[in-house]
Amino acid sequence: MDLWDLTRLLFRRWYIALPILLATILISALVGQSVKPDYRATGHVVLIPAPGPAASTSKPAGKPRPKNPWLDLGFNALCQAAILNVVNQKTLASLKDAGLSDSVLVQLDERSPIFIVEAVAETPTKATATVREVIKDLEADVEAQQDRYGVLAEDKIGTQTLTDGSDVETVTSKTKRALIVTVGVGLLLTAAGTISLDALLRWRRSQHAKRGDQKPAQSDEKREDAPANAASPRSTPPLSDGDDREDSTRYSQQPPRTISDGPGSVYGARRADGQRTAESTGNAVARPPAVEETIILPRPADRWAEQDMRDRGR
């Protein structure tokens, strides 16, 4: 099934797909209201070169002037060292314990020695406070990295805060992700539910069709069997009015004689009279087509005796 077939199926089974889509829209609206956006505050700190010694400052006698190694390494090296010391698990844990946000990102600008500090929190106040706290830690670490080598104040690289995180913007990425997931799941459920219910309806329709084909077939078979049973010829022909069925069965071992069942025979006339009598009484009897047939019946004992007397007289 391609996209076009799926679209046609959704339009054909709109009464199944439409309720699921409406439920998806309702759930998406509820998710959009329940998931609150975040707030991001951004601060910037720039490194300031060392001012250098004053002209009136005299060199101490017998004591060499300490050298600042970060001047040879460059500002980028000092910035990377400060970032590694500030943004670690210990510092983030201390921020969280202080009631601030631990979602902090510190980057270095590619063209200039500027720290870019970003903090994301649930409220604007919390985000701004987190940025300011991280800026204090960066300034303190830059100074501590130079105090380790005993650098004089005039040879130290300084810091200056450009923005302290007062600029706060709303971040809706979390809300968008929740909406995308909800809508995607709703569309998948719409397609899967429509396809499943359509397959179920087709299966039930095929089952009803099969049952409908089997019932007429069984009734036709019964209808065909009934005339066949009704039209089956009787194995024992009707006896005359004066004959008894027990006498006929008693003398069934006597030699039979051949009787013609034609229209002019006595037996044929009796059969015709019996058929007309049945038709006049309203009992319709299905009979096979009138054909010439020969039926062998046993003769009663008195007829055999009469025939023997005749044969002896001859």
Domains in the chain, start-ordered, CATH in brackets? 3-49+67-176 (3.30.70.1130), 245-313 (no CATH)
Q: Using H for helix, E for strand and C for coil, what is the string for the chain?
A: CCHHHHHHHHHHCHHHHHHHHHHHHHHHHHHHHHCCCEEEEEEEEEEECCCCCCCCCCCCCCCCCCCCHHHHHCHHHHHHHHHHHHCCHHHHHHHHHCCCCCCEEEEECCCCCEEEEEEEECCHHHHHHHHHHHHHHHHHHHHHHHHCCCCCHHHCCEEEEEEEEEEEEEECHHHHHHHHHHHHHHHHHHHHHHHHHHHHHHHHHHHHHHHHHHHHHHHHHHHHHHHHHHCCCCCCCCCCCCCCHHHHHHCCCCCCEEEECCCCCHHHHHHHHHHHHHHHHCCCCCCCCCCCCEEEECCCHHHHHHHHHHHHHC
**Chain segment 127-171, per-residue pLDDT in tens:** 999 999 999 999 999 999 888 888 888 888 889 999 988 888 988
pLDDT score at 118: 93
**Residue 68's beta-bridge partner residues?**
none
Can you give the pLDDT at residue 280? 45
Q: pTM for the whole thing?
A: 0.53
pLDDT of residue 43: 93
pLDDT number for residue 119: 92
What per-residue confidence (pLDDT) applies to 17? 87
**pLDDT value for 288:** 52
The stretches in the chain having pLDDT less than 70 are 1, 53-63, 213-309, 311-314
Q: What is the pLDDT, as a whole number, of residue 130?
A: 93
Give residue 235's pLDDT. Answer: 46
